[in-house]
């Protein structure tokens, strides 16, 4: 007999930061009190700081999809021309939302695993100068690919269109200079690099984005950017907030601030690089090989092996929940996450477990081969003591 600890190693929900979990317990707090306003103000101010923007940041009780929806219903009008970049399941969601609200969307679709290029966006903008917005994922969680949002932003900034970036798994895993690059809307969620359970979503808004809210005619009520901005300025949310999660978020943000957002990004990048090195050393193929992001690494299952077997074996043998492919990628790829509260020790365990599972299912590898790749990278970068729990 051996103990199997439960380990959540998926690209969202991600591993939870324990002090934030403990903070949730203090949620016997009324939301119209100074104690709560203090926590709420601290959340909004710290989010602005770690996102690195001087623009407004608003927070909502919803999943990330709620704020994607809200961005369309608050900033656009029926029939307006937009460009939607689709490189996976979450890009498809942008297309569905645009359709639900009657936008006139030019959908640029690339196969799963590939990315939409800045040239494609530029060309589409040139063809339709009346374009009001460009929608994309910074990091497409379903494939592990990352978009070059910096280059796209440079092209979009010259047009009347706003750039709407779903950075739900992009924040904390890649550099995103919101103000410097001109990312007009950047959307995040609590259950990703922010290390707490799902249930909160937030966004930043540039002055160019706010301007669109003046002309938008789509109906909305619960998600109301103007009202929420006014409430947030007073240290409150417009409707009853998710008090438990906000207390958790305030605690997690203190930790992220103490690390520094750039260090959190560096951590994800190192773990992603080590993961790529490990699986390639094991002879496996990366899925989004040309543009791999650092939120999650998608790996192709060996020929003849269903990736679902690997996911199931991780759960059964090691109690670890890793992610299968989504949609049409189910069974084809498995995904190893790096966003948020992940460390090298997690990765040693994942790669060692993977080696055992591959062997047991007929894909023979020498034990320790992949782990050694992670260890070598660790040794190269671990010249200075790394931060542990604050």
State both tokens at 69. Answer: 């929806």
SS3 41: helix
387 binds a copy of itself (CB under 8 A): no
Using an 8 Å Cβ cutoff, are 138 and 152 in contact?
A: no
- The pattern of x and - marking residues 235 through 274 that bind a copy of itself according to CB under 8 A reads ----xxxxxxx-----------------------------
- Nearest distance, CB of residue 327 and a copy of itself, angstroms: 12
Integer angstrom CA distances of residue 188 from 31, 166, 172, 275? 23, 7, 10, 24
Cβ 331 to a copy of itself, closest distance in Å?
Answer: 15
Q: Report if residue 381 touches a copy of itself, rule: CB under 8 A.
A: no
Q: Does 13 bind a copy of itself (CB under 8 A)?
A: yes
Instruction: Please report whether residue 16 would count as binding a copy of itself according to CB under 8 A.
Output: yes
Smallest Cα–Cα separation from 135: which of 93, 85, 207, 97? 85
Q: Tell me how many residues contact a copy of itself (CB under 8 A).
A: 53
Handedness of CA 32, 33, 36, 41 (dihedral sign): positive
Counting every residue written for the chain, the total comes to: 390
Should residue 309 be labelled a site residue for a copy of itself when binding is judged by CB under 8 A?
Answer: no
Asked whether the beta carbons of 46 and 257 are under 8 A apart, the reply is yes
Q: Between 131 and 191, whose beta carbon lies closer to a copy of itself? A: 191
**Residue 202: which of 149, 254, 241 has the closest Cα?**
241
Binding characters for a copy of itself, 46-65, by CB under 8 A (x = yes):
---------------xxxxx
Would you state the structure tokens that stand for residue 361, as one six-digit string? 């299912």
Stretch near a copy of itself under the rule CB under 8 A, chosen from 27-35, 159-167, 204-212, 348-356: 27-35
Indicate the residue among 27 and 269 with the shorter CB distance to a copy of itself: 27
Using CB under 8 A, which of 12, 144, 182, 325 touches a copy of itself? 12
Question: Is residue 81 helix, strand or coil?
Answer: strand
Residue 96 is a binding residue for a copy of itself (CB under 8 A):
yes
Beta strand 139-140 pairing with 185-189: unpaired
**Contacts with a copy of itself in 105-134 (CB under 8 A)?**
none
**Sign of the Cα pseudo-torsion (138, 338, 50, 201, in order):** positive
Regarding 88 and contact with a copy of itself (CB under 8 A), the answer is: no
Between residues 64 and 293, which has the closer beta carbon with respect to a copy of itself?
64
Interface with a copy of itself (CB under 8 A), residue from 97, 124, 153, 339: 97
Collapsing DSSP states into helix, strand and coil, what is residue 76? Answer: coil
- The tokens for 67 are 């704020």
Applying the rule CB under 8 A, the residues between 330 and 359 that interact with a copy of itself are none
Residues 194-223, one symbol each (x = binds a copy of itself by CB under 8 A, - = not), give ---xxx------------------xxxxxx
Q: How far apart are CA 362 and CA 301, in angstroms?
A: 12
What is the edge-to-edge ordering of all strands in the sheet holding 200-205? 56-61, 200-205, 185-189, 162-166, 133-137, 81-86, 104-109
**Binding-site ranges for a copy of itself (CB under 8 A):** 6-8, 10, 12-13, 15-16, 21, 24-25, 27-31, 33, 61-66, 68-70, 72-73, 78, 96-97, 100-102, 189, 191, 197-199, 218-223, 239-245, 321
């Amino acid at each position: 007999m051996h103990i199997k600890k439960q380990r959540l190693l998926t690209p969202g929900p991600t591993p939870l930061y324990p002090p934030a979990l403990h903070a949730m317990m203090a949620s016997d707090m009324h939301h119209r009190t100074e104690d709560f306003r203090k926590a709420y103000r601290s959340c909004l101010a710290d989010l602005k700081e770690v996102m690195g923007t001087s623009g407004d940041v608003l927070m909502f009780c919803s999943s990330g999809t709620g704020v994607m929806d809200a961005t369309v219903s608050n900033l656009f009008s029926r029939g307006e021309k937009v460009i939607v970049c689709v490189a996976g399941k979450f890009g498809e969601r942008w297309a569905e939302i645009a359709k639900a609200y009657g936008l006139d969307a030019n959908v640029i679709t690339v196969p799963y695993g590939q990315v939409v290029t800045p040239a494609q966006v530029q060309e589409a903008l040139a063809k339709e100068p009346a374009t009001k917005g460009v929608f994309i994922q910074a990091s497409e969680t379903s494939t592990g690919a990352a978009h070059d949002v910096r280059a796209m932003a440079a092209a979009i900034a010259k047009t009347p269109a706003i750039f709407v970036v779903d950075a739900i798994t992009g924040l904390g895993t890649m550099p995103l200079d919101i103000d410097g690059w001109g990312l007009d809307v950047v959307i995040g969620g609590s259950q990703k690099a922010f290390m707490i359970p799902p249930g909160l979503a937030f966004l930043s808004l540039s002055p160019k984005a706010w301007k669109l809210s003046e002309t938008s005619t789509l109906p909305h009520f619960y998600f109301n950017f103007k009202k929420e901005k006014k409430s947030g300025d007073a240290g409150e949310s417009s409707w009853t907030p998710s008090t438990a999660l906000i207390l958790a978020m305030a605690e997690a943000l203190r930790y992220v601030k103490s690390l520094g957002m750039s260090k959190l990004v560096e951590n994800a990048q190192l773990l992603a690089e080590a993961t790529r090195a490990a699986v390639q050393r094991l002879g496996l193929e990366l899925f989004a090989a040309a543009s791999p992001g650092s939120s999650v690494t998608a790996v192709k299952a060996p020929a003849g092996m269903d990736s679902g077997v690997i996911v199931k074996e991780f759960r059964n043998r090691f109690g670890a929940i890793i992610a299968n492919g989504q949609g049409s990628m189910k069974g084809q790829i498995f995904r190893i996450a790096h966003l948020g509260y992940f460390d090298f020790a997690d990765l040693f365990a994942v790669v060692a477990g993977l080696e055992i599972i591959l062997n047991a299912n007929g894909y023979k590898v020498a034990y320790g081969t992949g782990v050694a790749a992670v260890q070598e990278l660790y040794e190269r970068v671990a010249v200075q003591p790394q931060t542990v729990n604050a």
